[in-house]
Structure 1
Amino acid sequence: MQDFGENIQQVHNDKLGRHLVAGMNIEPGDTLLEERPLLVTPHWECGQLKCAQCFQESYVICRRCQVYPLCMDCSQHDDFECDFFASGAGKGLCKDILVKNYGICGLLKLLLLLEDPATRPDCATLVETPVNLDDYRDGDGMWQEHEEQVVRPLMASGLVEVLSSQQLTCDSLHAHCIRIDSNAFEVTARDGDTLKGVFVCGASLPHNCVPNTVVALDEQFNMKLYAAVPLQTGDIIYNSYTNPLMGTSQRQHQLRLSRRLDCSCSRCLDPTEMGTHMSSMKCRECPQGYAVCEMDPDGRPGDWRCLECKASMSAANVHELLAEVGGALVEARGDLQVYESLLTQYKSMVHPNHFLLLDIKQNIASILRAAALMNSMEQPCKKLLARRVELCSDLLPICRAVVPGISKLYAIGLFEYLLALIELVELQFAESDLNKKEYGAQLRTASLVGKKAMDLLRFEPENSAEGYLSDRISMELERIESDLNKYGG
């Protein structure tokens, strides 16, 4: 299932359990781990049938087993799964088992992997991981989703009786669902839909909000883990399971929900979040100060205090404001003017780098990009294009700071900035707002941006989303070079 690089070692301690460390000094880009997914499955709530082989939308069923969906391009799927319903223990079960309850697809796949003697050993590490179900019976939505979408329909299907050797109960099925979620990475199907890929080793790496690795996934959902920064012998190999553009309290909340852990990494313990101030509030008492969250001796968050005048803000007031902004973002519903109004309304209350402002800026930039792609602006407004360049530029230093070293986040940010800049300067040149010399200078800037993005993506598999992004950037660079030659840049 997985292949460890010669430069890492498996070790064990009481705090982290079994984990990986650098066995020698490692350079950025060096491969640490390669792993095939144990299983790939749509999300629990997916209602559209997906081909069991390639995961594209499907409206036909395998003629042999009459259970699994197939697309027009695929004539077969996993032999054991097909045999199980065609001529094996499950042949007497209702053939509409997936048509009526497609949400069970992921758990069904795991149960059949456990039933197959050839694949059962591959599941050992996953199913032997203990799950404290009481930690999940908390009404946060996950338990109820599993119950309604998966556990109850599967219990009613008759499959539990057919798989009697596995001694399945409602609780054991819930535990399997939790194991799948806890070990899943988001992967992308060929049609662009997101799926869950379960990687037992890759998902077992300890979490750090400032990871020292990069996860790469190709079109066949194979994982490659490589070093993002130089590693010294004995360094722990970390991954991150949160969105780096979230603030500390939001990352912590996500980790508690998804992995039941509290993070105490350097970023979480730094109230300024590595100097980015992504969670800092504007002081109400002094014009230049920003308030950060104070930690008590046990590392628990307390009230907020200005770094300049030492004035305090209650945690309750901060949380109330964050909830207000979060609710307003939900209500914005993709309206450009509403997002711009929110940005104006709240920028005086929080640090310019605050994660909520970043969220608003990302939404505005996305709307402007979508409008350009759909040619919804018959004559693109230079003001709006300049606004998109400005927003993309604002995001770049934050992306660079929160994911050091080789960073796909930063590379994608550079790409978005590159597209926005090229679109703007080409229009400015076409309308004679820029002369040849000025246009050439802007193209050289764009070229440097593109080359930096390419450099950050050079370790990505060619047949991955990032590999194709590299191809796109390369095409942009060729076009820039052509214009530089044409206009004497």
Structure 2
Amino acid sequence: MQDYSEKLQEVTNEQLGRHLVVSERVEAGETLLDEQPLMVAPHWECGQLKCAQCMQESYIICRKCQVYPLCMDCSDHDAFECDFFASGAGSRISKDLLVKHYSICALLKLLLLLEDPARRDQCQPLVNRPITLEDYRDKDGMWQEHEEQVVRPIISSGLVEALPEQHLTSDILHAHCIRIDSNAFEVTARDGDMLKGVYVCGASLPHHCVPNTVVSLDEQFNMKLYAAVPLETGTVVHTSYTNPLMGTSQRQHQLRLTRHMDCACSRCLDPTELNTHMSSMKCRDCSDGYAVCELAGSGDWRCMSATCGAVMPAGDVHELLGEVGSALVNAKGELEAYESLLAQHKQLFHPNHFLLLDIKQNIASILRAATLMNSLNDPCKKLMQRRVELCADLLPVCRAVVPGISKLYAIALFEYLVAFVELTELQFADADVSKKEYVALLMRAREVAKEALELLQFEPENSAEGFLTERIGMELERIESDLMKYGKL
């Protein structure tokens, strides 16, 4: 089920197909779409059974159908799914189907939705979208993974014979897998595990690497789409299906893999990536120049300095990116390995390069755990200072790549706020800063907290960001309390 804002209208053109445009000015924060998921399921590679009702970890099986897993808190699940295996066409299928082949769970859910007369129509916008299978065969091994983990187990299980009206073939099953992947958003279960939620309307929005909307998901996986910036009449409503902290070539690769498209948005066509230089290389021939990719030309990197203009061959850049990317994977959460990577490569990339940001985020995450484990002494204080610096480096990039109401920026502000307040309180306790300096630092922290709360004000209370709002509010209360105690507001 979905509910559109009255300020939107659906239009169709050759470039975007069916899409939404603004028919009346929309203010930032206004809700544009409310949608319940068509389905929520584990990822294909998930090996841990999930409760068919609440999607938390499960170690028992439904007593009625003897196929679907349940948790200790749930006694039943979808009636049609249960009846299908308990007494319907699927009753002759092996009861350990999901125990042995849990990777089929998402496709099985879609097939039974299509079989259910009460839900079949809800699936039609999804299954009616044409899929050109030749575009996906042998793409980075995805086809083979679907074949081995999902399609073959479905065919060998007897489900094809149990669903004769769907006329299922290997190609149809592959097409359904692609549709699920192409229309899924990452959603978080209550136990923190990542799932995929399929949203027929939300996932049909055109992509833009600088989205003008915000996607929010509550604990029941309901989607709320609201405006990130004011939208004028005639504006196309779009979202982003990539990680905004990726560089252009990495975002393009992800889009080709998951949505089979090339992006030509304002960020992708700007070699500086909105002046963030998230893909820029340090010039090898001059001391202060940075090289950017010649997007419309050879694909080589050319120094932007008017007095230099040196060229770095694309092959050399891609080889270096591959080496650093592999080293990141091999670092395996070790602080020294990440710090070594950063020291080794910071002279080769722009400070905002996405690989350096990735390394810094990993270091900051490790330092967060380290400061909790260590006693509050001088070495811990140094770790805190390092964490504050790393969190601060991320803020301007997050602000630039997702303007307007930005959850990415709000979360980055929160990480900075917590690190900054912890360090400030320790410095004051150790008399490293005076009372006057402490008050000034707290006032700065208060502004950070207020900015983060303002960005999260439109989030549902029962969403992950809603809970984050509560946490930030608690931090703000502590700050206000110390300001009352040590200084004038």
User: Do both share a fold (TM > 0.5)?
Assistant: yes
Partner SS for 1:364: helix
Match of 2:380 in 1: 381
- 1:403–1:82: structure 2 CA closer, same or farther, 3 Å change rule? same
Paired with 1:211 and 1:410, the residues of 2 have a C-alpha distance of 13
Partner SS for 1:266: coil
Match of 1:71 in 2: 71
Partner SS for 1:291: strand
Moved more, 400-409 or 343-352: 343-352
Paired with 1:139 and 1:288, the residues of 2 have a C-alpha distance of 40
Matched, 1:26 2:26: yes
1:50-89 alignment runs, 5 A limit = 50-89=50-89
Match of 1:303 in 2: 300
Deviation track 1:209-248 (CA, whole Å, cap 9, x = no partner) reads 0000000000000000000011110100010000000110
Residue 488 of structure 1: how far off its partner (Å):
2.6
Match of 1:179 in 2: 179
Deviation track 1:329-364 (CA, whole Å, cap 9, x = no partner) reads 111111111111111111111111111110110010
Paired with 1:281 and 1:45, the residues of 2 have a C-alpha distance of 36
Partner SS for 2:196: strand
1:306-345 alignment runs, 5 A limit = 306-308=303-305, 309-345=308-344
Match of 1:109 in 2: 109
Paired with 1:378 and 1:449, the residues of 2 have a C-alpha distance of 24
Residue 371 of structure 1: how far off its partner (Å):
2.1
Matched, 1:424 2:436: no
1:245-324 alignment runs, 5 A limit = 245-296=245-296, 302-308=299-305, 309-324=308-323
Match of 2:482 in 1: 483
Paired with 2:460 and 2:342, the residues of 1 have a C-alpha distance of 38
Paired with 1:266 and 1:208, the residues of 2 have a C-alpha distance of 8
Deviation track 1:357-381 (CA, whole Å, cap 9, x = no partner) reads 10110010011112234x2456461
* 8 Å Cα contact 1:371-1:377 kept in structure 2: no
**What is the one-letter code of the residue matched to 1:226?**
Y
**What is the one-letter code of the residue matched to 2:127?**
V
Match of 2:351 in 1: 352
Matched, 1:244 2:244: yes
Paired with 1:87 and 1:378, the residues of 2 have a C-alpha distance of 63
Deviation track 1:151-173 (CA, whole Å, cap 9, x = no partner) reads 11111111110001101011111
Partner SS for 2:268: helix
**What is the one-letter code of the residue matched to 2:347?**
S
Partner SS for 1:295: coil
Paired with 2:57 and 2:340, the residues of 1 have a C-alpha distance of 39
Deviation track 1:174-202 (CA, whole Å, cap 9, x = no partner) reads 11011000000000111111100000110
Ranges in structure 1 where 5+ consecutive residues have no aligned partner: none
**What is the one-letter code of the residue matched to 1:306?**
C
Match of 1:214 in 2: 214
**What is the one-letter code of the residue matched to 1:16?**
L
Matched, 1:91 2:103: no
User: Cα RMSD between the aligned structures?
Assistant: 1.1
Residue 207 of structure 1: how far off its partner (Å):
0.4
Residue 37 of structure 1: how far off its partner (Å):
0.2
* 8 Å Cα contact 1:190-1:219 kept in structure 2: yes
* 8 Å Cα contact 1:429-1:439 kept in structure 2: yes
Partner SS for 2:252: helix
Paired with 1:273 and 1:295, the residues of 2 have a C-alpha distance of 12
* 8 Å Cα contact 2:461-2:467 kept in structure 1: yes
Partner SS for 1:267: coil
Match of 1:120 in 2: 120
TM-score by length of 2: 0.98
* 8 Å Cα contact 1:245-1:355 kept in structure 2: yes
Paired with 1:61 and 1:321, the residues of 2 have a C-alpha distance of 49
Residue 132 of structure 1: how far off its partner (Å):
1.1
Paired with 1:67 and 1:318, the residues of 2 have a C-alpha distance of 51
Paired with 2:62 and 2:469, the residues of 1 have a C-alpha distance of 37
Residue 396 of structure 1: how far off its partner (Å):
0.1
Paired with 1:244 and 1:301, the residues of 2 have a C-alpha distance of 25
Moved more, 448-457 or 306-315: 306-315
Residue 295 of structure 1: how far off its partner (Å):
2.4
Paired with 2:8 and 2:49, the residues of 1 have a C-alpha distance of 40
Residue 271 of structure 1: how far off its partner (Å):
0.6
Match of 1:141 in 2: 141
**What is the one-letter code of the residue matched to 1:334?**
G
Paired with 2:480 and 2:268, the residues of 1 have a C-alpha distance of 43
Match of 2:473 in 1: 474
TM-score by length of 1: 0.98
Matched, 1:452 2:442: no
Paired with 1:301 and 1:273, the residues of 2 have a C-alpha distance of 18
Deviation track 1:434-462 (CA, whole Å, cap 9, x = no partner) reads 12111111111111000000000000000
Deviation track 1:97-146 (CA, whole Å, cap 9, x = no partner) reads 11111111111100000000110000001001111111111241211211
Match of 1:227 in 2: 227
Paired with 1:260 and 1:266, the residues of 2 have a C-alpha distance of 19
Residue 53 of structure 1: how far off its partner (Å):
0.4
Identity of aligned residues (%): 73
* 8 Å Cα contact 1:414-1:449 kept in structure 2: yes
Deviation track 1:288-317 (CA, whole Å, cap 9, x = no partner) reads 111111122xxx661111111111111111
Match of 2:392 in 1: 393
Ranges in structure 2 where 5+ consecutive residues have no aligned partner: none
**What is the one-letter code of the residue matched to 2:485?**
K
Match of 1:47 in 2: 47
Paired with 1:90 and 1:284, the residues of 2 have a C-alpha distance of 65
Partner SS for 2:439: helix
**What is the one-letter code of the residue matched to 1:257?**
L
Match of 2:159 in 1: 159
Partner SS for 1:381: helix
**What is the one-letter code of the residue matched to 1:353?**
N
**What is the one-letter code of the residue matched to 2:401?**
V
Match of 1:433 in 2: 432
Partner SS for 1:18: strand
Moved more, 434-443 or 8-17: 434-443
Residue 485 of structure 1: how far off its partner (Å):
1.2
